[in-house]
A and B are shown apart, each in its own frame.
Chain A
Amino acid sequence: MKVKSKYVKHCLHYMLICSALVFYLFPIYWLIITSLKFPGDVTASPVVWFTTKLTLDNYRLLFGHTGALWGAKQYVGRSFLPSIAPYITNSIMIGVLSSGFGLLLGALLAYGIVRFRIGGSRLYNWLLSLRMIPPVVVAIPMFTVFRTLGLIDTWWAVASAHLLMSIPFSTLLLIGFFSDIPGDIMEAALLDGCTNLGAFSRVVLPLAAPGLVAVFIIAFLTSWNELLIANVLTTTAKAQTFPVYTTSFAQVERGTAWGPAAAGGVIGMVPMLISSFYIQRYLVRGLTMGAVKE
């Protein structure tokens, strides 16, 4: 009797988990299958839930190839979707610039805070509150400032705006990582004749290396995902990032390019998914800026 009820409970448990999985994974399935469908199937009525008639055309279109965008095999015209390649490059460069500098400045700041115990909870709160600043609020003054500096539509403009997110983030997270390092080790290094800079670079940083990598990746991903600031501070493919590119699909005159749009989405998802395996260990810490440790 008891075994049976336990069995029922177990089944129920799995059923709940399965329904959660369906809820969370179906949209991803839909994105991927849309990216592989032929144009006629994308908005077909009745809805095509599953099909084996798949194509990679949508991906080819994103890289400047001609294809069956509207199924228009007869109409000889280049697909007018701009190639995704420069946008990805911009995204990567802006991400590297902002998270690289953010990491550097953040590490110095975090070490200073941990080593010299300055700032206290007030500084912590201030750094934390920077996370709350809405991008749109930053976007307006940044736009006018970069306008006067003539930096609109450059990597530098977007990257330095993203620093506003990456520095506080790196600092807060690294404070946690650095204070995990036993004080003895640091003191030993200092007694050994190391300068503060020496102790920092030869002892603290190597010990926190895995943390540094995680911080870099999460900061990079934040920059990768950011739309509003990147949209406002850029005008052309010279500096526009992947999310800005994605917004342009729904605006093509002759029917939304759902297929290529979904393909673009899949491409934009990939770096996130790959790195999510590496940072899973640090994810909780990273997302809460060190407020919760796993």
Chain B
Amino acid sequence: MSTYRVVPAGSVFDRFAKHIFILPGLGVLVALVIYPTYYLIRLALSNFDLTFMTKPVFIGLGNFIQILSDTYFWGALGNTLVMASIAVALEFVFGLGMALLLNEDLRGGRIIKSLLIVPMMIPPVVVGLNFKLIFDQFGPLNDLLQRLGVSCVDWLGNPLMAKVSVILADVWQWSSFMFIIFLAGLQAIPQYLYDSAKVDGASGWRTFRFITWPMLVPSATVALTFRVMDALKIFDVVYMVTSGGPSFSTEVLSLYIYRTGFRFGTLGYASAVAVIMLILLTAIIEVIIKETRLGKRLEWE
């Protein structure tokens, strides 16, 4: 008695079901990615200065040639790479350490875990604001150092220390990201592996080296990939803590593009820098995804 079935299986609707499910999402994504990308490239090939122009004027590769000799760009690129790699490396170490500490049955372990996740939950803008206060020349961190008898550090005034400050803020916020991924990885390691290692009389280090670590590699690659992606586009914290200073020792690519585009109003040039950033990041991420075979994680295939 299927007379009321308006759309029977095998009907027109079902024949196109595939498309009906796929197309809206994919369509919107393509519109959101392809068109802006096309537009970005077009802008990158034009001169477009908001202070006195209403329409972009095509100039070919002029912007890119100018970038080659733009020391600000190279400086920002260098800063981004240096700060991102150091920050991610530190986060890796901190996250792994904490995961190992908390992997054992502890009293209050659950609460501690929830507390350690908190930094990641705070909006990056707020983190930046907070650390600006903490790193101030007369702020709590220097006060503590003084009380401990160490001399004050000019956290935000010294080009090197400013980099350290930004890295510290990033590490503070994101090592918990590494931490929970590692913890999940650790907890997925079956107990019998440890038991058999104990029977064999393996030392703590050897257990880690030959059992824990190999089992952790998949989580580690995922954690690293995601952190590298995010660290390379860091903006909020730098914007809030140093806004690129002093003497632009903490200027990062995102900030430089933002500045050239929306403060100087030279959208064409900013687009060209953005295109280069996009190509660079895509290359880096492509390599990582390929090397780590993230795409192969589709279990149903």
Q: Which residues of A contact B (CB under 8 A)?
A: 13, 16-17, 20-21, 23-25, 27-28, 30-31, 34, 43, 45-47, 49, 105-106, 108-109, 111-118, 120-122, 124-125, 128-145, 160-161, 163-164, 167-168, 171, 175, 179, 190, 193-197, 200, 221, 224-225, 227-228, 232, 242-243, 246-247, 249-250, 258, 261-262, 264-265, 268-269, 272-273, 276-277, 280, 283-284, 287-288, 290-294
Distance of B276 from chain A, by nearest CB (Å) = 10
- Contact check, B133 vs A258: say whether CB atoms are below 8 A apart: yes
Residues of chain B contacted by A117 (CB below 8 angstroms):
300-301
Q: Beyond A118-B22, A140-B270, A277-B114, is A224–B123 a contact (Cβ under 8 Å)?
A: yes
- Contact check, B43 vs A125: say whether CB atoms are below 8 A apart: no
- Contact check, A141 vs B184: say whether CB atoms are below 8 A apart: no
Question: How many A-B contacts if CB must be within 8 Å?
Answer: 297
CA distance A25 to B116 in the complex (A): 8
Chain B contact residues, majority secondary structure: helix
- Contact check, B172 vs A24: say whether CB atoms are below 8 A apart: yes
Distance of B68 from chain A, by nearest CB (Å) = 20
Residues of chain B contacted by A43 (CB below 8 angstroms):
136, 138
CA distance A143 to B24 in the complex (A): 23
Q: Beyond A105-B25, A196-B21, is A124–B235 a contact (Cβ under 8 Å)?
A: no
Given contacts A128-B289, A138-B36, A167-B32, 15 further A-B contacts (CB under 8 A): A27-B127, A27-B131, A113-B22, A125-B294, A130-B29, A131-B229, A132-B229, A134-B278, A261-B129, A265-B122, A268-B122, A276-B114, A276-B118, A284-B184, A292-B185
**What string of 1s and 0s marks CB contacts (under 8 Å) between B104-129 and chain A?**
10100000101111110111111101
B299 within 8 A of A: yes
Residues of chain B contacted by A121 (CB below 8 angstroms):
295-296, 298, 301
- Contact check, A243 vs B125: say whether CB atoms are below 8 A apart: yes
Chain A contact residues, majority secondary structure: helix
What are 9 A-B contacts defined by CB distance under 8 Å?
A24-B176, A115-B21, A131-B226, A132-B233, A140-B274, A145-B36, A243-B124, A264-B126, A277-B114
Q: Beyond A24-B116, A108-B24, A135-B254, is A124–B295 a contact (Cβ under 8 Å)?
A: yes
Question: Which of B117, B253, B254, B275 is close to A280, meaning CB atoms less than 8 Å apart?
Answer: B117
* Smallest CB gap from A178: residue in B: B300
- Contact check, B131 vs A112: say whether CB atoms are below 8 A apart: no
- Contact check, B9 vs A112: say whether CB atoms are below 8 A apart: no
- Contact check, A31 vs B180: say whether CB atoms are below 8 A apart: no
B219 within 8 A of A: yes
- Contact check, A112 vs B22: say whether CB atoms are below 8 A apart: yes
Q: Which residues of B contact A (CB under 8 A)?
A: 2, 5, 7-9, 11, 13-14, 17-18, 20-22, 24-26, 28-29, 32-33, 35-37, 39-40, 43, 98, 101-102, 104, 106, 112, 114-119, 121-127, 129-134, 136, 138-140, 143, 172, 176-177, 180-181, 184-185, 187-188, 218-219, 222-223, 226, 229, 232-233, 235-236, 239-240, 253-254, 257-258, 261-262, 267, 270-271, 274-275, 277-278, 281-282, 285-286, 289, 294-301
- Contact check, A288 vs B181: say whether CB atoms are below 8 A apart: yes
Question: Which of B36, B115, B177 is close to A142, meaning CB atoms less than 8 Å apart?
Answer: B36
- Contact check, B184 vs A225: say whether CB atoms are below 8 A apart: no
CA distance A214 to B294 in the complex (A): 23
- Contact check, B18 vs A276: say whether CB atoms are below 8 A apart: no
CA distance A105 to B25 in the complex (A): 5
Q: Beyond A43-B138, A280-B114, is A141–B37 a contact (Cβ under 8 Å)?
A: yes
Residues of chain B contacted by A228 (CB below 8 angstroms):
235-236, 254, 258
- Contact check, B25 vs A106: say whether CB atoms are below 8 A apart: yes
Residues of chain B contacted by A47 (CB below 8 angstroms):
138-140, 143
* Smallest CB gap from A17: residue in B: B101
* Smallest CB gap from A44: residue in B: B138
- Contact check, A292 vs B134: say whether CB atoms are below 8 A apart: no
Q: Beyond A109-B21, A109-B26, A243-B123, is A140–B33 a contact (Cβ under 8 Å)?
A: no
CA distance A20 to B286 in the complex (A): 34
CA distance A134 to B138 in the complex (A): 35
- Contact check, A112 vs B21: say whether CB atoms are below 8 A apart: yes
CA distance A85 to B197 in the complex (A): 58
Residues of chain A contacted by B8 (CB below 8 angstroms):
193, 195
- Contact check, A105 vs B130: say whether CB atoms are below 8 A apart: no
